[in-house]
Amino acid sequence: MRKIIVFAVILSLMFIFGLTGCGKNSEVSKEQTTVADSKEKPLKIVLLINGTLGDKSFFDSANHGIELIKKEYGDKVITKVIEMSYDNSKWEPTLQDVSEQDWDIIIVGTWQMAEYLQKLAPQYPEKKYIIFDTSVDYSKGNLSNVYSILYKQNEGSFLAGALAAKIANSNMPLVTGKKLIGFLGGMDIPVINDFLVGYIQGAQYVDKDIKVAISYIGDFSDSAKGKELALAQYQQGATIGFNVAGQAGLGQLDAAKEMKRYAIGVDSDQALLFAESDPEKANLIVTSMLKRVDNSLLRAIKLYKEGNLKFGEAEALGLKEEAVGLADNEYYRKLVPEDIRQFIEDLKTKIINGEIKVDSAFGMDTNKLNEIRNAVKP
């Protein structure tokens, strides 16, 4: 009988410990499931291009920003770039379609998209939007889900103007001997004139008697017209021209090659873009005034990941934030004498620390702008 009782006790203990063990396994399984469920979902980011890639300038820089984001975060992000073409009838419907999909962050750029974003963003409050190179009007409706990136292109263009004037007054091989430099803008609008105002101020900082041939193409896609206008500037005797016209500005680079004159690129490092396909052209692009859309988009996503992106606000980024600046590449170092390069670097430092204040076309009335343009008219 005693043996039977002892055996029963042993069986009971085995059963109890068995249940306890199962409970622990159950707990571990539950914990593992919770961890798996809580794994961070990829952040879904889409960039809408209101044009096409291949401009070797503004839109390509934005696309490069998406590439930088993907490189930085790998499988923690899902990205897509949609080219909407230059047909503006497609822009609003595409933005609306994308807003109805499961993207977390929707990125658009240029002043042409601001109106559509102001209309649609309040309808999708759960979505987050980033617009670059312009700002929405936050006084119009609830736009607390929109972050606007502005660029201090006037600061970078000040350096470009100073460089152009220095080159025009130098003994570099292709200098014409005339105190004349060129500016080719896409359209006569505030953001383009912000480049122009900085460019003129920088040039006059170097030489108060410098003249600037100014032309506007009327759009950002007609490179043939861009070439025609740039040729006219070179034929007037301009040693160097600065294109600020997206794809249309590629005509400036064609004109520089034809006339054997210097050029300053814009937005992307245009000399490097032509280094293999057209080395003759690349060797005439002394530098490019970089509008680092790519850096600013990566910066925005980093801030978002940290929980520090200021939605409902506009932020202006300049030389200090490395959002604008001159391309310091092999062509710049080869073509531009060291003393001029050092002079430009000193100007950059002075702008960053506030010794030089660069004027802006934003908020400037038309009369003042015309006064500036007329003062440098050839």
- Where residue 343 sits, what CATH number does that domain have? 3.40.50.2300
- Which pLDDT value is given to residue 335? 98
Do residues 236 and 283 share a domain?
yes
Instruction: Tell me which of 98, 128, 151 is where a domain ends.
Output: 151
Question: 224 and 129 in one domain?
Answer: no
Contacts of range 26-34, beta carbons closer than 8 Å, 24 or more positions apart:
none
pLDDT: which is higher, 239 or 141? 239
Residue 24 lies in a domain: no
Residue 185 forms part of a structural domain: yes
Q: Is pLDDT above 50 for 115?
A: yes
How many angstroms separate the Cα of 378 from the Cα of each of 176, 179, 194, 212?
Answer: 15, 9, 20, 6
Cβ(116)–Cβ(146) below 8 Å: no
pLDDT at 24 > cutoff 50: no
Let me know whether 56 and 178 are in one domain. no
Q: Tell me which of 26-35, 63-72, 286-295, 305-314 is least confident.
A: 26-35
Query: Based on the structure, what is the number of domains in the chain?
Result: 2
Domain that holds residue 182: 155-290+325-375
pLDDT of residue 55: 82
55-59, 292-296, 344-348, 371-375: least confidently modelled range: 55-59
In a domain, 63, yes or no: yes
With 90 as the cut, is the pLDDT of residue 128 above it? yes
Model confidence at 146: pLDDT above 90: yes
pLDDT of 240 above 80: yes
Same domain, 179 and 147: no
Kindly provide the b/e burial profile for residues 24-58, where b requires at least 16 CB atoms within 10 angstroms of the residue's own CB.
Answer: eeeeeeeeeeeeeeeeeeebebbbbbbbeeebbbb
**170 and 197 assigned to the same domain:** yes
Tell me the H-state helices in 307-337. Answer: 330-335
Contact 378, 236 (CB under 8 A): yes
Question: Per-residue pLDDT for 64 more than 80?
Answer: yes
| Whether 242 contacts 181, CB under 8 Å | yes
Domain match, 59 and 90 both: yes
Q: What is the pTM of this model?
A: 0.80
Q: What is the mean pLDDT of the chain?
A: 90
| Average pLDDT for 236-249 | 96
- Percent share of the chain, pLDDT over 90: 85
Q: Answer with the one of 109, 135, 151 that is the final residue of a domain.
A: 151
- 283 and 224 assigned to the same domain: yes
Q: What is the pLDDT of residue 21?
A: 42
pLDDT, residue 39, reads 62
| Residue 355 pLDDT > 70 | yes
